[in-house]
A and B are shown apart, each in its own frame.
Chain A
Amino acid sequence: MLWYTGKRLLQIIPVLLGATFLIYFMVFSMPGDPIAALFGDRPPAPGVIEQLREQYHLNEPFIVQYFYYLAGIFQGDFGVTYSGQPVNEVLARTFPVTIRLALLAIFFEMIAGISVGLISGLRKGGIFDATGLGVSLVLISLPIFVLGFVAQYFMGIQWGWFSPTVGAGAPTQDLILPALVLATISFAQISRLTRSSVIETQGLDFVRTAYSKGLSGKRIVPVHILRNSLIPVVTYLGTDFGTLLVGATVTEGIFNVPGVGRTLYQAVIRGEGPTVVSFVTIMVLLYLIVNLLIDLLYAVLDPRIRYA
């Protein structure tokens, strides 16, 4: 197990290097001059431009810029944004917010998805199952920005259940509404996944054997059916957590969450190479670590899986 974990951690290094290189290259190839964009209509003094180019190594060839950047990372320095803030600071400010948002969303979708899926699976073909399917289909087909605005309008403004936008410092109670919106999409997936998994497990021989031992349904459902059904769900949750860290851009925009998605989007628009690459690097790192944790969790859920 230890050896396996070590091996997986070592594998992260080449993946990270490859990812940073690719992203850096793509940002570098984007058209337009980031310095010119900084100044808008009023042309700055030529000396200033030169100085900025010097400062950000913009007049060096691509590969040299990349190595400057890489050397910085290894010293814990992710560079400076074009507005002068250290990228480190931006990372430290935005990532905790997004991680909290993602965890909250995962929590909601897990509770709702697994319970709805379990009941639908146990009462396959019943009214609950049919309703669940209908609701899931509607939710899956709704684009997230529609869902976001509708939720914001009704729950935030009309009924006033939640704060419609996220305030300074992103307090957790403000994050509930965007987390619910994020959870809605995955809820549909998780409930369908749990349902089919429960149906499959229910028909397995050991469940019948459990009944033949004289156990009651109350014990068999959580102990023998649910636990065995959760393995595919855990896989999905793992990838979903990764997606939530990266892809909450739209939702963060709607609710004004000062998180990763919004900041990254702005950095991409402005062509800020170092900022974009730093964000993506941290995202890749988080994604890999989450997936490693999921793989290790497998071994806990299913004793047949042993890593050597």
Chain B
Amino acid sequence: MSTPLLQVKDLEVAFRTQNGVVQAVRGVSFTLDRGSSLAIVGESGSGKSTTAHAIINLLPGTGHISGGQILLDGEDLAKASQNEMEHIRGRKIGFVPQDPMSNLNPVWSIGFQVEEAIRANGIATGRKEVKARAIQVLKEAGLQDADRRLKQYPHQFSGGMRQRVLIGMGLAANPQLLIADEPTSALDVTVQRVILDHLESLTRELGTTLLFITHDLGLAAERAEQLLVMYKGQVVEAGPSREILQNPQHPYTQRLVAAAPSLASRRIQATGSIAAAESAIAADAATAAGEAIDLIATAEARAEALEAAAAQPPAIVVENLTKVFKIRGSGDFKAVDDVSFQIRRGTTTALVGESGSGKSTVAKMLLKLEEATSGKIVVGGKDLASTSGKELFALRSRMQPVFQDPYGSLNPLRNIGNTIAEPLQTHKVGTKASRRERVFELLDQVSLPRTLLGRYPNELSGGQRQRIAIARALALKPEIVILDEAVSALDVLVQAQILRLLAELQAELNLTYLFITHDLAVVRVIADNVCVMQKGRIVEAATTDEVFGSPKEQYTRDLLAAIPGANIELGA
């Protein structure tokens, strides 16, 4: 075999900050043979993206390569000049960035942006040839009507379409190496699958070597031959994908495998109980065996609880709910179309669907942040449509939301104590002292130290913030919690912690959850019942086991098949 295409040797990347130099990547080494594929896996902050950016020399801010070599075809990129790098980028190394929403310049047309890449790399000259090549590139990337859409702007494209454009741009100059930095993390699962399939066949056809960056272990194993697991800037494990997945050696990899919901779904099926799954997902692989007995016990307890719940009146009844948005010029848009479901007290119902399926609109109507066009919502025996003023105010204290973005849903100017106490103040519950007691109690409940009281949101991690958001939602002792993509923005390990926390709180406080998500893998481990939504309608509604065991609708089957790594057998 000839020399490997890419050899990274003892790569070190550092950032200068006010508190001195921070090492983001510490001694990373790997080789990538021609035509092969490698995935770098790790949670955010592990240095995986930094490694990728170091290779094409586009480190953000004060980042710089502080040691080691990056050999592309024997040439050291760490020592290449700005000019030389410009020649290598695009021509030899293509790059597909993470977020299709922010990686295209909004003020230039798609055609313009593809054409400038082609022209910069000298692939074609002259107006006509450049345009022809741009159309060809976009068609290859899966945009069939590329010739018509060349003049359109990024905002006229869907997320999936934009990602195709970015892939097209990355491959425009037939680079030998393509770096794909979380290319599909921002997309719906089904779109993700189509795009990745396409990327795979395209790179195979062109013989492109692929370097994948992802936080999703299942996806990495499915799409790459080799796996590199990074943790805190270092490589903790490397080797063939399946081997690592089935027999992880390093404790961090073991935790990652155990926590990945997409992979854990196998195990859940084996135990056949939701509660057990919740525990299993959270448990360290090392202690899983010891907990097995407890799992069965909790599973039985859960079954009893479900039976008891069946006897009580449902907490939420939604009947023929419809929401029509009026759009000027193009008529009405039915965001929610004749949706009906019930949620029993103390249970979790998941509303699943891709973006645009209307699931969040249902949540907004439940919270009465949006008025229903027609249909009925009954919460705790009260019709939502007829409540207003004081009654609505009282109702809101019994029904609390937790939103997706733990960075956006906390006011950065309020400290944690005030944030959690705010609902109590608004609803004038207790005295100042008793409110403070309650805040402590809530911090205990979400397993956060009491010392966080005076801190501000920007001093906390994503997982901690989401715990704060949950604590705030629980402050008024609500009966119903509406979780709108509440764990979607979190890393797998943190996700597992939050899911376990939610399950514990449910058991303890007999909470009713409406869990809105696009991620079926998460549904598997938290929900009792599932409603699958597509284009505003509920296409399938059943218990979680039924939906996962024997899905009736094609759409549900597509969603299930799209979970990355679902088909990989785990050794454990």
Contacts and interface: CB of A to CB of B under 8 A. Distances in A.
Contacts of B170: 212
Given A203-B60, A304-B106, A308-B329, A213 B155 contact: no
B17 to A, nearest CB: 14
A216 interface: yes
B254 interface: no
Contact of B106 (A210, A216, A302, A308): A302
B116 A223 contact: yes
B105 A224 contact: yes
B552 interface: no
Most chain-A Cβ atoms within 10 A of its Cβ — which of B106, B172, B329?
A: B106
B56 A216 contact: no
6 contacts: A209-B169, A213-B117, A216-B120, A303-B106, A304-B155, A308-B328
A301 B105 CA distance: 12
Given A215-B120, A228-B105, 11 more contacts: A203-B61, A208-B103, A210-B116, A212-B94, A212-B97, A213-B120, A214-B89, A214-B91, A215-B90, A219-B116, A308-B328
A228 B329 CA distance: 29
B103 A205 contact: yes
B105 A215 contact: no
A206 B90 CA distance: 15
The list of the 5 closest CB pairs from A to B, nearest first, reads: A214-B90, A212-B95, A213-B117, A205-B102, A214-B89
Contacts of A224: 105, 108
B222 interface: no
B58 A211 contact: yes
Given A228-B105, A228-B107, A214 B60 contact: no
Contacts of B56: 212
Nearest to A230: B107
Contacts of A217: 82
B102 to A, nearest CB: 4
Given A216-B120, A308-B328, A211 B105 contact: no
A211 B89 contact: yes
Contacts of A308: 328-329
Given A213-B172, A214-B91, A301-B107, A205 B120 contact: no
A50 to B, nearest CB: 61
Nearest to A225: B105
Most chain-B Cβ atoms within 10 A of its Cβ — which of A210, A213, A217?
A: A213
Contacts of B60: 203, 208
B378 to A, nearest CB: 38
B104 interface: yes
Contact of B86 (A203, A216, A223, A228): A216
B407 interface: no
A95 to B, nearest CB: 35
Most chain-A Cβ atoms within 10 A of its Cβ — which of B60, B107, B117, B170?
A: B107
A301 B172 CA distance: 27
A92 interface: no
Contacts of B166: 209
Interface of A: 203-206, 208-217, 219, 223-224, 227-228, 301-304, 308
A224 B173 CA distance: 20
Contact of B103 (A206, A219, A303): A206
Interface in B161-217: 166, 169-170, 172-173
A303 B155 contact: yes
A206 B104 contact: yes
Given A209-B166, A308-B329, A302 B107 contact: yes
Nearest to B109: A303
A219 to B, nearest CB: 7
A44 B86 CA distance: 85
B116 A209 contact: no
A297 to B, nearest CB: 13
A205 B99 contact: yes
Contacts of A223: 108, 116
B95 A209 contact: yes
A214 B153 contact: no
B87 interface: yes
A45 to B, nearest CB: 68
Contact of B87 (A209, A211, A214, A228): A214
B107 A215 contact: no
Given A213-B172, A214-B87, A303-B106, A208 B117 contact: no
B191 to A, nearest CB: 19
Nearest to B155: A304
A73 to B, nearest CB: 36
A204 B103 CA distance: 8
A212 B181 CA distance: 12
Given A204-B102, A205-B102, A228-B107, A212 B120 contact: no
B116 A215 contact: yes
B29 interface: no
Most chain-A Cβ atoms within 10 A of its Cβ — which of B88, B102, B329?
A: B102
B117 A227 contact: no
A206 B155 CA distance: 14
B116 A213 contact: yes
B107 A209 contact: no
Contacts of B95: 209, 212-213
B121 interface: yes
A208 B107 contact: no
A203 B107 CA distance: 16
B87 A208 contact: no
B489 to A, nearest CB: 17
A214 B173 contact: yes
A96 B550 CA distance: 79
A227 B329 CA distance: 31
Contacts of B99: 205
Contacts of B120: 213-216, 219
Contacts of B82: 217
Interface string B101-126: 01111111100000011001100000
A88 B548 CA distance: 81
A215 B102 contact: no
Most chain-A Cβ atoms within 10 A of its Cβ — which of B94, B117, B153?
A: B117
A202 to B, nearest CB: 10
A302 B106 CA distance: 7
A213 B169 contact: yes
A209 B90 contact: no
B117 A206 contact: no
Contacts of A211: 58, 89
Given A214-B87, A215-B120, A208 B106 contact: no
Contacts of B172: 213
A223 B106 CA distance: 12
B155 A215 contact: no
B97 A208 contact: yes
A169 B84 CA distance: 59
A224 B112 CA distance: 11
Nearest to A227: B107
A206 B102 contact: yes
Contacts of A219: 116, 120
Given A204-B102, A219-B116, A304-B153, A212 B89 contact: yes
Nearest to A211: B58
B492 to A, nearest CB: 24
A213 B115 CA distance: 11
A203 B61 CA distance: 8
A228 B121 CA distance: 24
Given A205-B102, A223-B116, A303-B155, A212 B58 contact: yes
A227 B113 CA distance: 14
Given A206-B102, A219-B116, A219-B120, A212 B107 contact: no
A175 B160 CA distance: 56
